[in-house]
Structure 1
Amino acid sequence: MNDQKNMILAIALSIAILFGFQLLFPPAEQVAQQQQQTTQDGSAPQAPATQSGDASYAPQIPGGAAEAMKKAMATRSQKLDATARITIESPRLSGSLSVQGGRIDDLTLDDYRIDLSEDSDTITLLNPKGLQAAYYAEFGWSAPNVKVPTADTVWATDKTVLKAGDSVTLSWDNGEGLLFTRNIALDDNYAFTINDSVTNTGAAGVDLYPYGLISRSGTPQTSGFFILHEGLLGVFDHVLEEIDYDDLQDKGTQKVDPVKGGWIGITDKYWLMALVPDQNSMINHRFSHYRSDNLDKYQTDYLGPKLAAAPGQTVSFKSTLFAGAKELDILTHYEETIGVQEFDLAIDFGWFFFITKPFFLAMSWLYGVLGNFGLAILALTVGVKILFFPLANTSYRSMAKMKTLGPKIKQLQKQFGDDKQRMNQEMMALYKREKANPASGCLPILLQIPVFFALYKVLFVSIEMRHAPFYGWIQDLSAPDPTTIFNLFGLIPWDPPQLLMIGVWPLLMGLSMFLQQRLNPQPTDPIQAKMMMFLPVVFTFMLAAFPAGLVIYWVWNNVLSILQQWTIMKGMEKGK
């Protein structure tokens, strides 16, 4: 029978959606970014060996590996104390710069913590070279047959503290007629502006190539989700390129054709390190992987254009380093102020960004009005229901019509039960006379699919949703409901396995789904009826591992659908 076939189709579609989400969108977990214990010898981009203007460059083989293997790794505090440093004081960042090498290699994000516990540490983004989980940015000059600063050069400095809104100047004289100066400025958020300059006091001209690099030691632990890119990335000529760690291991060094401007970096789920060279210069970019000390090393870097410094002349190159959280408004701000291309693409809004990003912007606006992202989700759900009201209204009216046809359908089954073809013909004629659509029950589910995808993506990738509380026990909308019925919601001192973490909101979702089913036309076949009765249980277990914000959306959407459907059915009954 057509109505039963459509009912089975609706059930199969619903389960397929949820199983598809389990495969493509695994449950979000708050995983601290842990990295392998390693040392790092970064390699700087090399300038062409000739003055032909060839902008290609090859990886530099790291040196000192044997010596590094013999040395015990110092602790982080010991490593920081081993070199002179410039302290960073900022509303959002703390840490220090290394005077040796002039590296930005010690940063902590003061606004963010690893988890929700009161004693949780803040997020440590960068670690010094030669330390466990080394992760840092370095800048300099490359030039054939010219003595330039190296990773071991100790610079002179005019300050010991770099404050937000201020700058510090490093200087180094090569003793051969070249004075190297580096001015590092920091804004109130996550941007360091690096202005490297060289003054030629010698008798001969020199050609120099500015570079910047981000070096990461060891393969970091990633979420491992299909929908989220964590690894190396960049935007070149307005095109986003993403490279996973394992792909770069297979392919090795990858060069990008010279482009004007662009940016390159390494991204985690919520944090970003990105190099933004001068946007008006032709730049060579590169993604690199190599093995050293039996460990994987990753690097993104750029090589700027040739700058000719004649005697008595000063040349300079300006770039920006972003080191911080991927907050959309901050990234958009830098797009406008620096003129960097598509910087917001660092946030992985996915293939359906044209839905996901507007959802995020709408929720952010609602959050500004309501002061709570949970309330913003509820308000957005109401907005979506209003938007799809005409389609849903038509669907619910048709479903209500189908419910009233139940007795007539049973009569046809009794009358033509042995003649399937005749029974189907009579039922199709009945649907046509009564203007009922047996497939109408699928429409509400289909309407929810794009909303479900977009909302899940927003909850999963947006740092604004990370640790965002609702009310009561929901302190993180991007994490699953932490309660479970199997220990009576915490009354019994027992931690159930993950499979049994069925909290209050998943139970409310299952209950609301069951109530909504009772309003729909019931299958005449007893087997199908049992399948429909079991479906809310299946969804309850499957959605229990999804972010609480998504389950709250589903519950609220079901409640609104029940109210809408009940109102329509009552109105149709009165109109008889």
Structure 2
Amino acid sequence: MEQRRLILAIALSIAILIGFQLIYKRVAPPPATPSAPTAETAPPSAPPVAAGAGAAEAPATSGPRLAIAAPRLAGSLGLRGARLDDLVLRDYHETVAPSSPLVPLLARPDTGTAYYVQFGWSAPAGTTLPLPDSTTLWTASAPTLTPATPVTLTWDNGAGLRFAVTLAVDDNYMFTVRQSVTNTTGTPVLLFPWARIRRDYTPPTAGYYILHEGLLGVIGGRLQELTYAKAKSAGERTGGLAYEATAPGGWAGITDKYWLTALIPPQTSDERVAFRDVTLGSETGYQVDFTPATPQTIAPGAEATTTLHVFAGAKEVHLLDRYERTLGIPNFDKAVDFGWFYFLTKPFFYAIDWLYQRLGNFGLAIMAFTVFVKALFFPLANKSYKSMGKMRLLGPKMQALRERYKDDPARQQQEMMALYKAEGVNPASGCLPMLIQVPVFFSLYKVIFVTIEMRQAPFFGWIRDLSAPDPSNVFNLFGLIPFDPTQISPFLHLGVWPLLMGVSMFLQQKLNPPPPDPVQARMFQFMPVIFTFMLARFPAGLVIYWTWNNLLSIGQQWLIMRSAHLGPERGKKTKPAQT
């Protein structure tokens, strides 16, 4: 009975591991009741006019451009429509090859994958003053935007209003945007300055439930997330508005696995934020926008301004933390999907990154971190391994009890429990290290899988990217046969490190007392094979961790059992129980 409980505990551990990979989901926020969209020139959330983010806009593709040249960013802004729609990341390549293209983030409409940030104004219903729109041609104060040279875009509506957008960029990925309006008419004017991020297509995603890709933000102190599919589904039910809320400050945007485009409005005033599904003929687009909850009143002869920030770049953890501190952005680090185990995952990242700064290799940092974790749980492992050694020595007595009471299961169980109590053995303690290892394993999996610091991080030899599976494959003799077996089946991929992991798991299994039941024993024998194939498609960094952890466990268990004279070669023979 106790062996069955042990089997059940291990099975539950495996189920938790696989379940997190297959079932883990974020709970999307319920869609709000939308207001009806109207004109395109203002964002959907602008009260009382909802500018048509739900309309199929045809962005301008021609006209002069403002060049952007920053240490980590390059690209341009279209002066027609004031669109930031051309941006590449200087520090990141699409593959591990240094000659591969730089990673593009924002893209022009004529690329077929329009992805841009835009700024503008809307007005209450009944206002007839001309406002800038997607066809407006702005005038730039300089030809190039750099960290040392901010640029101001200006436009005069010819009816007494002068509009300006002043752009500045830092040495990393943060833009500062100041929108201003000067009123030279003789009457007060009410306007809503807005900003939006628009993605006019549905991008390919990694397809993992443990990774959020889509629309997200921290609104009212709470993280809100909508996948592209959920945004589209909610938008179809509500006329395009998938989520809407009013709260002071916060931030929102669109995230990929490693990249983020986000709007950070003023943190001291109430803002309306909306996540939208946009119908573009046969295509579906998505929009995130911010608008003040109340309009600005620009008195005659006065100027009204608002300042926001735009993040467009890589989700580097330390950089997000720095922006969170210096700009007061709430929970900006949650742009990285650390998951439900945030309280473990982020500290794990910091620990591994600290070790990396000293060792110069993330693979070595993971191995050093594993040693630390093993040391932390050494007392529990010590107790568990000793109990498992005693279980091995009790094998003959347990077998004798099974034979004696094979026709009386209740009495057999009673005698087993009495034997455990007399010998001071806890039969379930052997599975405790595995149960504890599950959240540690999953948290480390998240760190390796979602943090950009692990992206394309090399180890040694053929492992050039710890965030990708081991590229070697036994089924083509590790590259000697020129064909890709995974074209036949994705299961035909088995690299060197997964094989080493399977061997280490098999050796570790040999140190543990086998189940007396032949069926259970055979099931245990297949576990290394099952785990080998299951982890073959996991990130190489995780497989290296698991292999190294197994080897440390083998050494630790052997020393503990040897010092306690509980090893199979040193244990004294135990007489069978008297019948």
TM-score, length basis structure 1: 0.89
Q: Is the 2:13–2:435 contact (alpha carbons within 8 Å) kept by the matching residues of 1?
A: no
Cα displacement string for residues 19-38 of structure 1 (whole angstroms, at most 9, x for unaligned residues)? 42552479xxxxxxxxxxxx
- 1:302 corresponds, among 290, 297, 318, to 290
Distance 1:165-1:338 versus aligned 2 partners, 3 A rule: farther
Which segment drifts farther, 513-522 or 424-433?
A: 424-433
Gaps of 5+ in 2: 26-38, 236-240, 573-579
Distance 1:59-1:209 versus aligned 2 partners, 3 A rule: closer
Offset at 1:266?
Answer: 0.9
2:213 aligns with 230
Within the alignment, does 1:501 sit opposite 2:490 as a pair? no
Offset at 1:154?
Answer: 1.0
Offset at 1:100?
Answer: 1.2
Q: Is the 2:45–2:274 contact (alpha carbons within 8 Å) kept by the matching residues of 1?
A: no
2:285 aligned counterpart, secondary structure: strand
Which segment drifts farther, 415-424 or 90-99?
A: 415-424
Question: Which whole-Å CA distance do the structure 1 matches of 2:204 and 2:460 have between them?
Answer: 31
Offset at 1:43?
Answer: 5.6
Offset at 1:47?
Answer: 8.4
Within the alignment, does 1:95 sit opposite 2:94 as a pair? no
Which segment drifts farther, 409-418 or 106-115?
A: 409-418
Aligned partner of 1:91: which letter? P
2:348 aligned counterpart, secondary structure: helix
Distance 1:59-1:174 versus aligned 2 partners, 3 A rule: closer
Q: Is the 2:198–2:285 contact (alpha carbons within 8 Å) kept by the matching residues of 1?
A: yes
Within the alignment, does 1:406 sit opposite 2:395 as a pair? yes
The within-5 A match list for 1:238-249 is 238-249=221-232
Aligned partner of 1:178: which letter? L
Aligned partner of 1:521: which letter? P
- 1:257 corresponds, among 227, 242, 245, to 245
1:282 aligns with 270
Aligned partner of 1:44: which letter? A
Question: Which whole-Å CA distance do the structure 1 matches of 2:109 and 2:546 have between them?
Answer: 47
Cα displacement string for residues 362-415 of structure 1 (whole angstroms, at most 9, x for unaligned residues)? 111111121111111111111111111111111011001111122222333344
Q: Is the 1:326–1:463 contact (alpha carbons within 8 Å) kept by the matching residues of 2?
A: yes
Offset at 1:62?
Answer: 6.9
The within-5 A match list for 1:137-176 is 137-143=117-123, 144-176=127-159
Question: Which whole-Å CA distance do the structure 2 matches of 1:451 and 1:246 have between them?
Answer: 31
1:536 aligns with 528
TM-score, length basis structure 2: 0.89
1:492 aligned counterpart, secondary structure: coil
Within the alignment, does 1:472 sit opposite 2:464 as a pair? no
Question: Which whole-Å CA distance do the structure 2 matches of 1:454 and 1:122 have between them?
Answer: 30
Question: Which whole-Å CA distance do the structure 2 matches of 1:429 and 1:503 have between them?
Answer: 47
Cα displacement string for residues 489-546 of structure 1 (whole angstroms, at most 9, x for unaligned residues)? 2222232222121111111111111111111112223332222222111111111111
1:37 aligns with none
Which segment drifts farther, 465-474 or 305-314?
A: 305-314
Question: Which whole-Å CA distance do the structure 2 matches of 1:181 and 1:267 have between them?
Answer: 29
Distance 1:333-1:11 versus aligned 2 partners, 3 A rule: closer
Distance 1:173-1:161 versus aligned 2 partners, 3 A rule: same
1:446 aligns with 435
1:354 aligned counterpart, secondary structure: helix
Question: Which whole-Å CA distance do the structure 1 matches of 2:24 and 2:471 have between them?
Answer: 19
Offset at 1:570?
Answer: 0.7
1:441 aligned counterpart, secondary structure: helix
- 2:85 corresponds, among 92, 102, 105, to 105
Question: Which whole-Å CA distance do the structure 1 matches of 2:516 and 2:44 have between them?
Answer: 76
Aligned partner of 1:290: which letter? V
Question: Which whole-Å CA distance do the structure 1 matches of 2:24 and 2:246 have between them?
Answer: 36
Q: Is the 2:85–2:115 contact (alpha carbons within 8 Å) kept by the matching residues of 1?
A: yes
2:456 aligned counterpart, secondary structure: coil
Distance 1:373-1:523 versus aligned 2 partners, 3 A rule: same
Aligned partner of 2:170: which letter? D
2:36 aligns with none
Question: Which whole-Å CA distance do the structure 2 matches of 1:326 and 1:176 have between them?
Answer: 43
1:499 aligned counterpart, secondary structure: coil
Within the alignment, does 1:386 sit opposite 2:378 as a pair? no
1:36 aligns with none
Distance 1:375-1:25 versus aligned 2 partners, 3 A rule: farther
Cα displacement string for residues 143-183 of structure 1 (whole angstroms, at most 9, x for unaligned residues)? 22222221111111121111124311111111122221211
Within the alignment, does 1:86 sit opposite 2:66 as a pair? yes
The within-5 A match list for 1:284-433 is 284-304=272-292, 305-433=294-422
Offset at 1:355?
Answer: 1.2
Cα displacement string for residues 61-112 of structure 1 (whole angstroms, at most 9, x for unaligned residues)? 77786xx6xxxx99xxxx5xx3211111111111011111221110001111
Distance 1:300-1:5 versus aligned 2 partners, 3 A rule: same
1:29 aligns with none
1:286 aligned counterpart, secondary structure: strand
Distance 1:99-1:289 versus aligned 2 partners, 3 A rule: same
1:214 aligns with 197
2:545 aligns with 553
Cα displacement string for residues 434-479 of structure 1 (whole angstroms, at most 9, x for unaligned residues)? 1111112211110111101101111111111111111111111111
Question: Which whole-Å CA distance do the structure 2 matches of 1:416 and 1:319 have between them?
Answer: 77
Offset at 1:42?
Answer: 6.8
Gaps of 5+ in 1: 27-40, 49-54
1:507 aligned counterpart, secondary structure: helix
2:179 aligned counterpart, secondary structure: strand
